[in-house]
Each structure stands twice: as C-alpha cells, then as structure tokens.
C-alpha cells in the first residue's frame, strides 16, 4: 500500500503517538502486574474487554464510512450475519491474536518492560519469514542481514537479563521468554494472514475488523471460562480492576486501531524510528519505576536491535545503494 501524502507535522504527530502508545502500554501493563498494590486482576478478562471495545470502535468507524444507519445495518447483515464462511476465515487470526495478547500479559509478569520491548522486536524476522512463505515476497540482502543482526541483539539482551530491584512478585524469566516467543510467532503469522485476507477482496478494513472482533469476543470469552471461570464466578468479572488496569485496556484497544489507520501516512523508516524510540522510553521508565539495572549486554543488544530495525525499514532502492559499500 502506497504511503499517502501528508505534511511533515502530521507525520511527526503519527510517529509521536505510535511511540507513546507502544511504550506506555508496555510499561503500564508491567506496572499493573508487578508493582500496583491490591488484588491482581484476571488478564483473560482484560483481553476480552479489549476485543469488545475494538468492536465498538470499528462499528463507529464503519458508521462514518457508510454514511447512514440503514447502510450500516445492510453492511453488517450482509458481511456478518449472512457470511459464516468469512467469519470462519477471520476466526483464525482471532484465535492467534487472543493467544498473543494473553502471552503478552504472561511475559510482562515475568520480564521487565524494557527487556520485553527489545525481545518483542523478534516479531520482525517472524513477520519477514511469514511474508516470504505466505505472500511470496522477497527480502533484500540488507534486510536479511538486519534480521540476523536483530536476532543477535535479542540474544545479547537475554544472555544476562537486566534485573529490576523494585518488583514485588517472584518472576520466572524463562517462562517470560517462552511467552514472548509464542507472542511474536502469533504476531507474525496473524499479521500476514490478515493482510492476505484484506488484499484478497475489496471488503472494507472496518468490516474485516468487525468480523475478526466478533469471533475474538467469542474466543476470549471461552478463554475466560476455561482459564479463570471459577474465580470469575466467585469474585466477579472486574475483580482487581483499577484506573491503571482500565488504562491498559484503553491503550490496547485504541493502539492497534490507531496504528492501522495512521500507517498509510507513514513509511517503514518512521515505523522503525517509532519502535526504537519506544525501546528507549521503556528503558528509561523501567529504570525509574522498576529499578532496572542496565548491563553492558543489555545496552549492546538494545543498540543492535534499534539499528537492525532501521536497516530493515529502508526502501529497497536505499538498501541496494548501501549494499555496495
């Protein structure tokens, strides 16, 4: 998809919002799982509520797109109630995204926000591989180099993970890494699968989102019942919710939708800068809030990851020029 023309000010605005949402979501979620006082909420209910809010927001955007309530109802009936095959098709990424979101909660319960933010960039090589095999696209030599460089950076970060001194719960870094590994695999596959579905027809992005979120609500509700059913029946669906938990749900809901809208006004280089800036902000916040102790291996790995993100996002004409040096 071509990047639409937009002013420099608007592009900077997009970059700033994308960066702040990514960094704030990670740090706030980490805070609610490790530092925040009070009873710990059920992460499965938070994932479910996120899907509900995304559905409501997508309905609002589709209402604006269709222009009238009658057209909205006609579109919903046609593409949701009378299209069981399409719902089934979109249930695949719904399941995968549900797993990914739950794994994010598990990972941030056991890994520092900065370590998580760096390690989560493994979604780039995972997405690259899925793109090659599922969409039959090719990567430049510099992009392949950046993928291996990124993996090396993450290895350094995980070699001797930075420790946080203010965390109040016992953590299992190995469990956290396994959770984030599952999350990045899910992210890569679901993202490319959804892109393939979008480009296989002229169906509106918001219609596809609604189809996916309808399935997502059902799937996440099943997850609540299976994982925390008895506890939810005993303590309530919103047990342990605080304003900070609500803020996490808000960021998770709005962040994904906002990114899908503004991406058309930005390019891969800007998205790379955004990811790198989010890593820096998460690291600074982790030092202040969680007492993160920066190690040489963590700093080196984070730098490797930031550079590899930038190289991966370079346009092919620029990578061809750089490869001559």
Q: In the 8-state DSSP scheme, what is residue 202?
A: -
Residues in the chain: 325
121 vs 302: CA distance, rounded Å: 10
pLDDT at 211: 92
Q: Where are the domains of the chain?
A: 8-139+168-267
Digit-by-digit pLDDT tens for the chain (325 residues) are 444 555 667 767 777 887 888 889 999 998 888 876 668 899 999 999 999 999 999 999 899 989 888 999 999 999 888 888 888 999 999 999 999 999 999 998 888 888 888 888 888 888 888 888 888 888 788 888 888 888 888 888 776 666 665 666 678 888 999 999 999 999 889 888 888 888 788 888 889 889 999 999 999 999 999 999 999 999 999 999 999 999 999 999 887 676 655 555 555 556 666 777 788 888 888 888 777 777 888 888 888 888 887 777 776 544 443 333 3
Task: Name the burial class of residue 68, with classes exposed (0-12), middle (13-18) and buried (19+) by CB atoms within 10 angstroms of its CB.
Answer: exposed
What pLDDT does residue 255 have? 78
Question: Cα–Cα distance between 167 and 113 in angstroms, integer?
Answer: 11
The residue assigned the tokens 């399941």 is: 95
CA angle, 39 as apex, 33 and 45 as ends, to 5°?
65
pTM for the whole structure: 0.82
Structure-block tokens of residue 285: 């916040």
């Amino acid at each position: 998809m071509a990047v639409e023309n937009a002013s420099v000010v608007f592009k900077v605005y997009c970059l700033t919002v994308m960066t702040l949402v990514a960094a704030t979501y990670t740090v706030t979620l980490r805070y609610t799982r490790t530092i925040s006082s009070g009873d710990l909420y059920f992460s499965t209910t938070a994932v479910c509520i996120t899907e509900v809010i995304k559905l409501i927001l997508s309905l609002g955007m589709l209402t604006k797109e269709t222009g009238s309530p009658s057209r909205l109802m006609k579109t919903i009936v046609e593409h949701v109630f009378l299209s069981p095959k399409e719902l089934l098709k979109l249930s695949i990424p719904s399941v995968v995204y549900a797993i990914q979101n739950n794994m994010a909660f598990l990972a941030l319960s056991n890994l520092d926000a900065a370590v998580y933010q760096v390690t989560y960039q493994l979604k780039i090589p995972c997405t690259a591989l899925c793109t090659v095999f599922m969409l039959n696209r090719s990567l430049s030599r510099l992009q392949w180099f950046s993928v291996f460089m990124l993996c090396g950076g993450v290895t350094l970060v995980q070699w001797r993970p930075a420790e946080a001194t203010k965390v109040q719960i016992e953590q299992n870094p190995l469990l956290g890494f396994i959770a984030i590994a599952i999350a990045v695999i899910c992210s890569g596959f679901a993202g490319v699968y959804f892109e393939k579905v979008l480009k296989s027809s002229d169906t509106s992005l918001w219609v596809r989102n609604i189809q996916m979120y309808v399935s997502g609500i059902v799937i996440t509700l099943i997850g609540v019942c299976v994982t925390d059913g008895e506890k939810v029946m005993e303590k309530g669906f919103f047990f342990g919710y605080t304003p900070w938990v609500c803020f996490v749900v808000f960021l998770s809901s709005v962040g994904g939708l906002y990114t899908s809208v503004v991406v058309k006004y930005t390019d891969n280089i800007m998205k790379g800068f955004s990811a790198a800036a989010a890593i820096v902000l998460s690291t600074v916040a982790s030092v202040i809030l969680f007492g993160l102790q920066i190690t040489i291996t963590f700093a080196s790995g984070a730098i490797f990851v930031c550079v590899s993100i930038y190289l991966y996002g370079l346009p092919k004409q620029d990578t061809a020029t750089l490869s001559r040096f």
